[in-house]
């Protein structure tokens, strides 16, 4: 019987892969919504040539939690997160 693999999207569980492609965004304001976050990250990733190898936009989905002021941005590939700067990006 195979042992389940946990971590970085490996294994047979598609949710692990999805979780490993999500970028946490903290301290969002009420003016931020899913569409403008997706537009911002798509434009920055395209500008920096990150995650642009396949068809479509690099950002697949955005989820905002306004009660706790955070969001998750799901990108097309896990490797795209390695090239994205962790700090110093200000979402307008």
Helix, strand, coil abundance in the chain, percent, nearest 5:
30, 20, 50
Phi, psi of 25 (to 5 degrees): -120, 120
pTM, two decimals, is 0.71
Percent of the chain with pLDDT over 90: 33
Q: What is the token pair recorded at 1?
A: 């019987």
Residue 17: name the closest of 65, 59, 79, 67 by CA: 79
Domain boundaries, the chain: 20-83
Is 20-83 a domain of CATH 3.40.50.2300? no
Give the CB-side neighbour count of residue 13, counting CA atoms within 13 A.
Answer: 12
pLDDT for position 76:
85
- Tens digit of each residue's pLDDT (9 = 90 or more) over 9-54: 445 555 557 777 888 899 999 999 999 999 999 998 888 888 777 7
Phi, psi of 23 (to 5 degrees): -105, 125
DSSP secondary structure of 32-53? --HHHHHHHHHHHHHHTT-S-S
């Amino acid at each position: 019987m195979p042992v389940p693999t946990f971590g970085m999207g490996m294994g047979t569980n598609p949710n692990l892969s999805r979780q490993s492609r999500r970028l946490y965004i903290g301290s969002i304001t009420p003016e931020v919504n899913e569409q403008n976050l997706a537009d911002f990250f798509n434009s920055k990733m395209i500008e920096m040539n990150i995650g642009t190898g396949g068809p479509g936009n690099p950002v697949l989905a955005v989820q905002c939690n306004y009660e706790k002021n955070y969001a998750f941005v799901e990108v097309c590939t896990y490797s795209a997160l390695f090239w994205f700067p962790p700090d110093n990006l200000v979402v307008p």
